[in-house]
Amino acid sequence: MMGLLWHLSRRALVAVVAVYLVVSLAFLFVALTPDPNEGAIAYDVVRSGGDQEDARRAINAYREARNLNDPVHERYARWLIDISTLDWGMSFSHGRTVTSLVADRTPYTALYVVPALVVSLLGGVSVGLYTAFNRRGLVDRAASVLTYSGFGVPNFWLAEIALLLVVGELGVLSRVSQPPPAELWSLAHLEQYVLPSLVLASGLFAGQLRYARAETLEYVNDEFVAALRAKGVGRLAIARHVLRNAAVPILSVFFTDMVAVLVVNIYVIEEVFGIEGLSALSLAAVHQRDMPLVLGTTMVIAFVGIAANFLQDVTYAVLDPRIEAGER
């Protein structure tokens, strides 16, 4: 038990360090690169009849309002203190606290991400197990086609086609809207997220199916499986035993896919379907050089990704007793 606690304590410390490292890199990327808004401000001043001195004063006012004239190391130190005290500051572009904006937008992203992850994990693993025990059957061949299609068709293309056919031509589902918080969980609104969830789940499902099938095939001919069959154990019970042995690598792929979803795919999904979620908020903050909001949305994505990695370590420790013995 002490070995397990020590292992998890080290992993938790690494997770905390990783969070601060990600935030530091995001801060430096924004703080040390030229701000295009300054050029836009100068252009607007000159176009309205001002001279270079007027433009310089406008730029200085813009920088002072955002504390951009302070030394970078002072701004960085203040930001680390604010993060540690859960004070993420005010959004310059929205005039609201960053935490309130993140809290408002996160549910819209979770409405399609969470179902997609659940469907891809449960469906992909179940179909992968079935096809491994029933190789060269009709389901196995159909699953292979789905796998190659899921990997070969880009999410942005699939989203555009699905939006055009299902919403535009067939009218089966409606476009995603941005209702008030009171109507967020209404059936009419939840129905709008079916299509984004399915599009997002397509690639994840393919990955889970392929890897679950490959891992299961390593065990279907093992001696313990033959012994269980000799004892007359049913196929479902045998599948549970095989899944218990293959669970660690399968979950590893699942958590890896989860991180990939957060840093890449949700930006595509929300752009195509017009979902005003966390990634849309993040992109708008980058365009407007809204430093507190950029770092705040980066924090959320980093938190979820690092938390998933830590949860993966905890799952490993629970499923594999060798963790406690210090063998891994």
Instruction: Give the predicted TM-score (pTM) of the model.
Output: 0.75
CATH of the domain spanning 98-323, picked from 1.10.3720.10, 1.10.3210.10, 3.40.1350.10, 3.30.360.10 = 1.10.3720.10
Average pLDDT over residues 9-20: 83
In angstroms, the CA 319 to CA 246 distance is 10
Coil/strand/helix, residue 149: helix
Does the pLDDT of residue 27 top 70, yes or no? Answer: yes
Round to whole Å and give the CA distance between 186 and 292: 32
pLDDT tier at 320 (50, 70, 90 boundaries)? low
Q: Where are the domains of the chain?
A: 2-84, 98-323
Q: pLDDT digits over 42-65, tens only?
A: 888 888 888 888 888 888 888 887
125/128 Cα distance (integer angstroms)? 5
**Statement: residue 289 has pLDDT above 50:** yes
Binning pLDDT at 50, 70 and 90, where does residue 253 land? Answer: confident
Angle at 273 between CA 181 and CA 147, to 5 degrees: 120
In sequence order, which residues have a C-beta less than 8 Å from that of residue 172 and are 6 or more positions away? 166
Residue 182 scores a pLDDT above 70:
no
What are the contacts of 17-21 at 24+ separation with CB within 8 A?
Answer: 18/302, 18/306, 18/309, 19/299, 19/302, 19/303, 19/306, 20/80, 20/83
CA distance 319 to 74: 45
Q: What is the pLDDT of residue 327?
A: 47
CA distance 254 to 3: 26
Residue-wise burial string across 280-308, b where 16 or more C-beta atoms lie within 10 A, e elsewhere: bbbebbeebbbbbbbbbbbbbbbebbbeb
Q: What is the mean pLDDT of residues 295-305?
A: 81
Residues linked to residue 97 through DSSP beta bridges, in sequence order: 90
Residue 94 and residue 264 in contact, taking contact as beta carbons nearer than 8 Å:
no
Q: What angle do CA 305, 309, 315 make, to 5 degrees?
A: 140
- For residue 124, give every residue at least 6 positions away whose Cβ sits within 8 Å of its Cβ, in sequence order, or none: 204, 205, 206, 207, 208, 209, 212
Query: What was the pLDDT predicted at 328?
Result: 45
**pLDDT exceeds 80 at position 133:** yes
pLDDT recorded at residue 323 = 52
Whether the pLDDT of residue 105 is over 80: the answer is: yes
Amino acid at 130: Y
Q: What is the pLDDT of residue 152?
A: 76
Q: Are 196 and 269 in contact (CB under 8 A)?
A: yes
Helical axes 194-217 vs 266-273, angle rounded to 10°: 150
The pLDDT confidence band at residue 172, using thresholds 50, 70 and 90, is: low
